[in-house]
A = this chain, B = another copy of it.
């Protein structure tokens, strides 16, 4: 097990319905030393890529992306989620359907922050069905920029998001991929990487 898988086993809480709660260190309370290890690992996995911008999505991706950015020495842009589009100026918008919440949301980035010459690393905390991620990819491509890689902290390997993104040819690196969880036994099985 890597450092993240160990932490998930130690502090993650498994709930009925394949829910994994990691709010004590990842997406409500945030362990910044852990984020630094995550950033370092992303840097290692994308060492061969020339990246000049990190793109993430509010809210829980922001902290991870900012700490990771210190290892890449690049700025971070976070996409906004909104039901309506009321931001001024020219916007890149992707409409994505949420599987979990069964509603449509817009993923929005100001046009001026993504340019055709940008080589983008997308970072987010979770990947399950990948709706938000598909919106981010769409936005980068609509700006004429390139998605150099995708760094995810925890992927639910038993849901379809990761497979779809890899099938599309993207370099998707998930630091922990969960194959299965058992809320009765409190156990998690990770994919060998």
Q: Which residues of A contact B (CB under 8 A)?
A: 23-24, 28-32, 35-36, 58-59, 62-63, 65-67, 69-70, 74-78, 80, 109-110, 112-113
In the assembly, how many copies of this chain are there?
2
**B59 A80 Cβ-Cβ under 8 A:** yes
| A76 CB contact (under 8 Å) in B63, B77, B112 | B63
**A76 B113 Cβ-Cβ under 8 A:** no
**A77 B28 Cβ-Cβ under 8 A:** yes
In the complex the two chains form, what is the Cα distance from A63 to B75 in whole Å?
11
**A28 B70 Cβ-Cβ under 8 A:** no
User: SS class of chain A's interface: helix, strand, loop or mixed?
Assistant: mixed
**B113 A32 Cβ-Cβ under 8 A:** no
**A78 B30 Cβ-Cβ under 8 A:** yes
In the complex the two chains form, what is the Cα distance from A30 to B67 in whole Å?
11
**A75 B32 Cβ-Cβ under 8 A:** yes
Q: List 8 A-B contacts (CB under 8 A).
A: A28-B113, A29-B77, A30-B75, A32-B70, A35-B66, A36-B70, A58-B58, A63-B66
